[in-house]
Structure 1
Amino acid sequence: MILRYANLALLILFPIAWFAPLLRAGLLPIFGLSEISIISGLQSLWGSDPALALLVTFLAIFAPYMKTIGLGLIHFGFLRRKTLPVLEILGKLAMADVFLIALYVVLIKGAGYVTVQSGWGLYLFTGCVLSSIAISYLTRKR
């Protein structure tokens, strides 16, 4: 029963995480920092690199949300448990997106002239993805 409600909460928390500031970045701290969210990052990517934007859109938005919806359907008896391995793969793909964001932060910080600070949205998105992985693991154990 708790798994059902935790999973349903993710249906609300994921969209909040998409619009929440993942990081603040700027050229030296004296010029101010711009907040970057998943959605604002995707908007920028679509103009410069549509292929990468498509991949990130799938990893950051569709994979975790499809997994959450799939788990909800299992919890309420509308989908068979045989689909759990596919849903777990979707969760791992969403975690790959968190890794990409962390890699970008490390690369940008290495440039020296750019200031990057992680925002609360990065922790929220990571928490949502990890919670989703835990929920699917606990669902499998039941």
Structure 2
Amino acid sequence: MLTTLRILNLSLLVLFPIAWFAPLLRAALLPVFGMDEISVMSGLQSLWGSDVFLALIVTTFAIFAPYLKTILLALVHFDLLKAKVLPVLGYLGKLAMADIFLIALYVVVVKGAGRVTVEGGWGLYLFTGCVLASLMISTLSAKTRPS
């Protein structure tokens, strides 16, 4: 079981960056003119240009928190960090939820909401899957390892 959790967790180190650049949404003023793809990174670029404080918060919770949690969990899996930190990683995982990023993204989308068409992209599913997998891996790790 631990080997499976290790492999799944290490795969997140590759999948999270892919999800950050993958299209979360496709949006257009009118679908006739073509759709612009919005990814985590392109959304963050827009935020850094318009609201630095919100961009800092979103960057922390959508990028740094989940990746840091994944790295720390890998250290626990390979006995390079004590299992006593697992409860802390659980809290970090809750902070890493994509809710804050998605809310900020919706704020950006709603600002131009008059005749906007929005469609979900494959990156939305990948990013959501990564966050949920990270939560599942940390929960199972806490159950399989004594603290």
Give the Cα separation in 1 of the matches to 2:42 and 2:10. 25
Give the aligned length: 140
Alignment-derived partner of residue 130 in structure 1: 132
Alignment-derived partner of residue 35 in structure 1: 37
The structure with more helix, counted as a fraction of residues? 1
Shift of 1:104: 1.3
Shift of 1:67: 0.4
Q: Is the 8 A contact 2:16 2:127 kept in 1?
A: yes
Deviations 1:53-77 (A, max 9, x none): 0001011110000000011000000
Give the Cα separation in 2 of the matches to 1:98 and 1:126. 10
Shift of 1:112: 4.8
Alignment-derived partner of residue 61 in structure 1: 63
Match of 1:92 among 80, 91, 94: 94
Q: Is the 8 A contact 2:24 2:40 kept in 1?
A: yes
**Cα RMSD over matched residues?**
2.0
Shift of 1:46: 0.5
TM value normalised by structure 2:
0.88
Alignment-derived partner of residue 101 in structure 1: 102
- Report the residue type matching 1:50 in the other structure: V
Unaligned regions of 5+ residues in structure 1, if any?
none
Deviations 1:13-44 (A, max 9, x none): 00000000010011021121100110111111
3-state SS, counterpart of residue 81 of structure 2: coil
Alignment-derived partner of residue 13 in structure 1: 15
TM value normalised by structure 1:
0.91
Match of 1:141 among 121, 133, 143: 143
Q: Is the 8 A contact 1:98 1:126 kept in 2?
A: no
Runs of 4 or more off by more than 4 Å in structure 1? Answer: none
Give the Cα separation in 2 of the matches to 1:131 and 1:94. 12
Alignment-derived partner of residue 74 in structure 1: 76
Unaligned regions of 5+ residues in structure 2, if any?
none
